Structure 1
Amino acid sequence: LTRYVAPPKRHCMHVLQRALARVVPAASWSSASSHRPSLRPPPRTSTALRRASTVHDTQAMPEMEVYQFPALQDNYCFLLHDPRTGATAAIDTPEVEPIERALALKGWRLTHILNTHHHWDHTGGNVELKRRNPGCIVIGPKMERDRIPGIDVAVGENDEVAVGGFIARVYDTPGHTAGHVVYHFESERKVFVGDTLFAMGCGRLFEGDAPTMWNSVQKIMAMPSDTAVYCGHEYTQSNARFALSVEPDNKVLAARVVEVDAARAAGVPTVPTTVAIELATNPFCRPHSSDLRRTLGLSGAEDVAVFAETRRRKDTF
């Protein structure tokens, strides 16, 4: 079991799930659960990281604590904590001071930084946080190692990263940037996706094309349907408006938009979402949708062509 630890404001994901359930019977979500990661070669594990941060014993694993808070204009910071070992990881470092305040508030010591990609609003705090937290290990995508400040360990597809007793599988998800990665804690049912996927959206294609990004999105959508998806930005309301414009007859989407608007009006984050919710409401995860295809005029097109046109329209929305 895992639990989500956040600032005192109520999180909206559980509200959304209840709202969506009122529109779509639970049985109709079952198709999402059939999406599972395909069989892959045995993972390559960073032995240095395992020696540094993995503890092996027969005790039951504690719950992973996730502390989420805003930074910059619309970024989210995430601190992951293993209460047994004391290991604490920051997923990306948009800004130093909010992270330092959160660490002090929780009484945690930063031991790892896990970067998803090289953009400044995800790596800007690396060097200073590393200086203030001696021994902190900076981990980032090997395809972008020369653009990740302070990097110690470079990782890629099927590598594993240990944060205390919690293990993340790394997936290459290029498209937004050439070497973007995501960190999937499968046992904890959590994936940290940076700017590859957003609630009802996906990242812009700054260093990739539509087929590349579609392949990356599919990796995330193939994870268990109850996986919590932690995105790097609060873009949900603007994404929702676009989603409704291309899938106007999606009742689940319409219900979600109402809940999202209420959550944001109350200052409640809409992140994390889940794989199941995105499969039901995110147009970038739904190129098979007849409603979407009808809107785009692409009824007989391949999924990747529908994805590409959806991204093109979002860029000018």
Structure 2
Amino acid sequence: LNVLNVVAYVANALIVYGIGLAGLIEGLPTNQELSEKYQTLITPIGWTFSIWAVIFISQFVFALVQLFSPFSGSVWVINGVGYSYVGVCLAQVGWTFAFSYEVIWLSLVAMLAILFFLLRILYAQYKISVGSSGGSGVSNNTRTLFRDYALLRFPFAIHGGWILVASFLNVSVVLVDLEQSDKVQYYVALVSLVALLVIAAIALSLTKAEYVVPSVFAWALVGIYFELDNPKDLIVNTFEENDIFYVRDGSLIASGIILVSILINLVLGFIKFVRSSKKDSGSSNSKKSREGSDYVRTDEDGVPAV
């Protein structure tokens, strides 16, 4: 499994970079060129796609560390990731070919496959985190939990968040390919914004709130705002000015709501943590005090001293 994860990562990285980004196959357009061709109301501005660098770097680190102890046999890898990461990479390779050859409907199928495998990983790892205890192979040490999250969970949270956004975008790209009316595209764009808000709310309301996925949503929504703040001619010529305005400002408002919700959740979580720490500290001191009061001094013969 560990070696297979490395092979899958390398194959995915080489094909996605070589074909999708660098355009090494003559005659095939790059992802950027195709994004401009299939421009939608929810296509983010170019710099938001730099998130792929974070995704690939974090997954490179994951692929590397999971080869070695103590990570190779970690419950986060064996039970949390399993063979799903191989599925993610295969589906992503499939998406790269489908999109590059402009088989748009097939690219959506591949995108949904990527999403399926990533959600499997996120759900499996979430179940482990909720039921985490020393006996289940998961340390309760805060430092260890943070390390494991950064190395073994974060790469899939950020990837999952971005693929959720990309799935909605891919649906809109299909509508462009099918030459659907501007109103159909507009309403689907609005539904996509609302859906991202709902998913963010669900992620933040979990027993153990997920912050990375909603943060990725906010990043993408800000990117949509900036793209529509100075829209390309294709968008201006296709959509009514009010429709562009509503999606642009709606994406900014949605991003603001998500960021404020994350901040409130973090503050409330910190307050809860502090109160819990004080309560545990008080209980510990009370126990020590009771133990001290039970102590009775005795003389050399073991007779209680008066």
TM-score (norm: length of structure 1): 0.28
Tell me which of the two structures has the higher relative contact order, counting C-alpha pairs closer than 8 angstroms and 6 or more residues apart: 2
Pair member with larger Rg: 2
TM-score (norm: length of structure 2): 0.29
Hey, which of these two has a bigger chunk of helix by percent? 2
